[in-house]
């Protein structure tokens, strides 16, 4: 059994359950904390060291004791993307322990001549760590402690001076303890704060027509435009409109039924254009400040080239047929799942590498972000291998996991490397549900490695409460998605308030764009002004979007959800959302002023970034009222210190 160190360092965070890298963002502070356990009453010191993997130089930041949390806490700010290492060091702080002991003894009138010599030796030991000039000051203080010609007060004054205390603070004892090295993955900022917009290029006539729509998407303030699969679509068992089993000769089929005689995952559907057209689309998006995300769906239509070339990559049923995909009650007769564990190891290696090469193929054509379809139906081991392989050479690539499955699987996919994750937000409506779920996602342990993305709708999901719902319901759900977490997305048509279901028995839209080309009137989308304004607010206030920065506040009326982002010392937004889309609601909110940095007895100003009004508040309590009939579903207050300007 290994000998325990003199100081035990436990529960270092950020971390993940199985030791995969925790997540951070370049240029953004990362909270670091640990539990220190040591015998006796000596005071401790601690620090965190971090570096990019491969670097010879460690960065260092102090950790301080937080008695309220019973943890040592601090922050680091990595500046490079890619793999990092993180270590916590702890030691007995001999200087501070000596200061405490000698002050107590002096006050008690005890002779401290021996303690003065002990202090001199401690300072001499620490002097080399204070640098050349600082070391000289520390050694002079040690000499002063030994100068018996001076009074005790003079001798102590030199050693207890703030200058000496600052110089030796954080110098680790050579007998320190260190934690095991933790892994930290640092992403680019767009990986942690982004607004996504999903569109089907075929409904715009292909890439050339879709390119014209990019100006509209950019004008609304989105960061990422996401395309469903753009590959050839199989003809065998092709689905017709509204997921019917028989398709007509002109029905385009589902883009997720990938593969036909024109090619597989590395090909483009001829109706969408050429590779040159696709690259022009990506280039135009970049000119407008948009990044293109591509769907990565590892499945095949019966006509995919792999079906004939590699039957060993599929599950063969007893009757000789290949199993098709099912998600009861939904059936996908036009899709064959891939079997990721073929009987022969060589077949597995070939399959996994072929799947990896699809990603690299599209990376070579300008794609750095992938939305991954149903990753929970593929082995976690595959994703851990694939993402690590891609990130080894291209650490900026982003992977969004579309895994509406068990919480454990969603968390595990995030842990092994997925950059972002779809969530259950779509089905969280009640105020207690929202508070509970958002708190779970924004606190440890999940916040260390899972980045939630909130989508109020997808091509598959018209939530029950949005069926036949008024624009106000779509508006309030949008505000929640865009302000509760830093990453959110909508599927096109949301701003048009598309609310008619295919039936009362599933979540499909009537005339779903998944199975047919959909023409829309884009001349006056009802929710476009709200979307544009909220995205502008998100960009004007970049310092409030750390995932951990959301805090809920009390409301006398449960239909009004109240939460804040940020702190007044940096930047502060206060959000009030009426969860009732049909009726006006009013309440008295009660803010946690201390947590927000607001004084209890001085005025502060709230300016509504949505409605435009400005008010002066004082103290924790304030009255608010929101009436959907007047177009008021939310307040998005910018909070500043001081009174409101007089008209």
DSSP notation for 462-475: --GGGTT--HHHHH
Q: Which among 446, 366, 380 is positioned nearest to 413, based on CA atoms?
A: 380
Topology classification of domain 8-186: Immunoglobulin-like (2.60.40)
The answer to whether the beta carbons of residues 407 and 440 sit under 8 Å apart is no
CA atoms in the 13 A half-sphere facing the CB of 138 = 24
Q: Token digits for 453?
A: 């993305």
Of residues 333 and 156, the one with the higher pLDDT is 156
- Tell me which of 89, 295, 334, 402 is the catalytic residue: 402
**What are the pLDDT digits (tens) for 259-270?**
999 999 999 999
For the residues 350-356, what does the mean pLDDT come to? 98
pLDDT tens digits, one per residue of 481-504: 999 999 999 999 999 999 999 998
Classify domain 544-641 by CATH number: 2.60.40.1180
Identical topology for domains 8-186 and 544-641: yes
Domain edges within the chain? 8-186, 544-641
- Residues 11, 16, 20: CA angle, nearest 5 degrees: 125
Residues 398, 369: contact at Cβ < 8 Å?
yes
Confidence (pLDDT) at 327: 72
Neighbouring CB atoms inside 10 A of 549's CB total 18
Of the candidates 422, 402, 189, 203, the one whose C-alpha atom is nearest the C-alpha of residue 291 is 189
pLDDT of residue 321: 78
Compute the average pLDDT of residues 512-539. 97
How confident is the model over 25-63, as pLDDT tens digits? 999 999 999 999 999 999 999 999 999 999 999 999 999
- Enter the tokens of residue 20: 């995969």
Q: pLDDT category, 2, cuts 50, 70, 90?
A: confident
Q: Assess whether pLDDT exceeds 70 at residue 647.
A: no
CA 388, CA 411: separation in Å to the nearest integer?
17
Tell me, yes or no, if 89 is annotated catalytic: no
pLDDT higher than 90, residue 135: yes
CA 230/CA 252 separation, integer angstroms: 12
Q: Could you tell me if 23 and 30 are in contact, meaning their C-beta atoms sit under 8 angstroms apart?
A: no
Helix (H, G, I), strand (E, B) or coil at 327: strand
Q: Assess whether 373 carries a catalytic annotation.
A: yes
Residue 322's pLDDT is: 80
Helix (H) or strand (E) holding 618: strand 614-618
3-state secondary structure (DSSP) of residue 425: helix
Q: What is the pLDDT of residues 551-591, one digit of tens each?
A: 999 999 999 999 999 999 999 999 999 999 999 999 999 99
| Strand ranges inside 4-58, DSSP E | 8-13, 22-25, 30-37, 44-52
Q: Of residues 291, 373, 508, 580, which has the active-site annotation?
A: 373
What is the spatial distance between Cα 292 and Cα 299, in angstroms, rounded to a whole number? 21
Q: Please, which pLDDT band fits residue 238 given cuts at 50, 70 and 90?
A: very high
Per cent of the chain over pLDDT 90 is: 93
The confidence score (pLDDT) of residue 445 equals: 96
Residue 88 phi/psi, 5-degree rounding, is: -105, 130
pLDDT in tens, 407-463: 999 999 999 999 999 999 999 999 999 999 999 999 999 999 999 999 999 999 999
Mean pLDDT score across all residues of the chain: 96
pLDDT band at residue 317 using 50, 70 and 90 as cut-offs: confident
pLDDT at residue 645, rounded to an integer:
63
pLDDT at 646 exceeding the cut of 60: no
With contact defined as beta carbons under 8 Å apart, do 88 and 15 qualify?
A: no
């Amino acid at each position: 059994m290994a000998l325990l160190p003199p100081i035990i360092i436990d529960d270092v965070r950020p971390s993940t359950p199985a030791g995969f890298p925790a997540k951070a963002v370049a240029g953004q502070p990362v909270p670091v904390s640990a539990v220190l356990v040591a015998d006796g009453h000596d005071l401790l010191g601690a620090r965190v060291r971090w570096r990019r993997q491969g670097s010879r130089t460690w960065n260092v930041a102090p950790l301080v004791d937080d008695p309220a949390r019973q943890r040592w806490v601090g922050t680091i700010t990595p500046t490079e993307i890619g793999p990092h290492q993180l270590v916590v060091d702890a030691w007995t702080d001999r200087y501070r322990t000596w200061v405490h002991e000698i002050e107590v003894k002096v006050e008690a009138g005890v002779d401290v001549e021996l303690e003065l010599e002990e202090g001199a030796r401690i300072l001499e030991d620490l002097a080399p760590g204070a640098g050349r000039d600082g070391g000289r000051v520390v050694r002079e203080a040690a000499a002063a402690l030994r100068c018996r010609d001076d009074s005790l007060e003079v001798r102590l004054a030199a050693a207890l001076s703030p200058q000496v205390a600052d110089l030796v603070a954080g110098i680790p004892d050579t007998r320190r303890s260190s934690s095991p090295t933790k892994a930290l993955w640092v992403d680019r900022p767009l990986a942690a704060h982004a607004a996504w917009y999903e569109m089907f290029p075929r409904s715009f006539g292909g890439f050339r027509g879709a390119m014209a729509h990019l100006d509209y998407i950019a004008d609304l303030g989105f960061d990422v435009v996401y395309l469903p699969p753009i590959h050839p679509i199989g003809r065998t068992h092709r689905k017709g409109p509204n997921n019917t089993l028989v398709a007509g000769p002109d029905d385009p089929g589902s883009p997720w039924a990938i593969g036909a005689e024109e090619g597989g995952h590395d090909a483009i559907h001829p109706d969408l254009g050429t590779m040159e057209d696709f690259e022009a689309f990506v280039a135009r998006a970049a000119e407008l400040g948009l990044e293109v995300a591509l769907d990565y769906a590892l499945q095949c239509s019966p006509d995919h080239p792999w079906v004939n070339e590699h039957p060993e990559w599929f599950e063969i049923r007893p009757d000789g047929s290949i199993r098709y995909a099912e998600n009861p009650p939904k059936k996908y007769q036009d899709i064959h799942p891939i079997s990721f564990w073929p009987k022969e190891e060589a077949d597995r290696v070939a399959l996994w590498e072929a799947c990896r090469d699809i990603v690299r193929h599209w990376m070579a054509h300008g794609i750095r972000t992938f939305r991954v379809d149903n990753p929970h139906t593929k082995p976690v081991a595959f994703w851990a291998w694939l993402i690590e392989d891609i990130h080894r050479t291209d650490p900026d690539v982003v992977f969004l996991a579309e895994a509406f499955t068990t919480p454990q699987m969603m968390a595990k996919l995030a842990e092994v490397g997925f950059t972002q994750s779809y969530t259950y937000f779509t089905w969280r409506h009640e105020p207690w549900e929202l508070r509970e779920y958002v708190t779970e996602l924004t606190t440890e342990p999940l916040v260390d490695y899972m980045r939630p993305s909130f989508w109020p709708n997808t091509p598959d999901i018209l939530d029950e409460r949005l069926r036949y719902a008024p624009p106000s319901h779509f508006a309030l759900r949008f505000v929640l998605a865009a302000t509760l977490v830093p990453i959110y997305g909508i599927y096109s048509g949301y701003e048009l308030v598309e609310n008619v279901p295919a039936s009362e028995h599933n979540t499909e839209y009537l005339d779903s764009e998944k199975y047919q080309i959909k023409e829309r009137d884009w001349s006056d989308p009802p929710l476009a002004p709200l979307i544009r304004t909220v995205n502008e607010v998100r960009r004007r206030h970049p310092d409030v979007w750390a995932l951990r920065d959301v805090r809920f506040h009390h409301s006398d009326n449960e239909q009004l959800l109240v939460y804040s982002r940020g702190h007044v010392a940096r930047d502060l937004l206060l959000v009030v959302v009426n969860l009732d889309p049909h009726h006006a609601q009013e309440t008295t909110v009660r803010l946690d002023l201390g947590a927000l940095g607001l004084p209890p007895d001085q005025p502060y100003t709230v300016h509504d970034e949505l409605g435009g009004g400005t008010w002066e508040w004082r103290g924790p309590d304030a009255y608010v009222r929101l009436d959907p009939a007047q177009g008021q579903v939310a307040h998005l207050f910018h909070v500043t210190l001081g009174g409101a300007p007089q008209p």
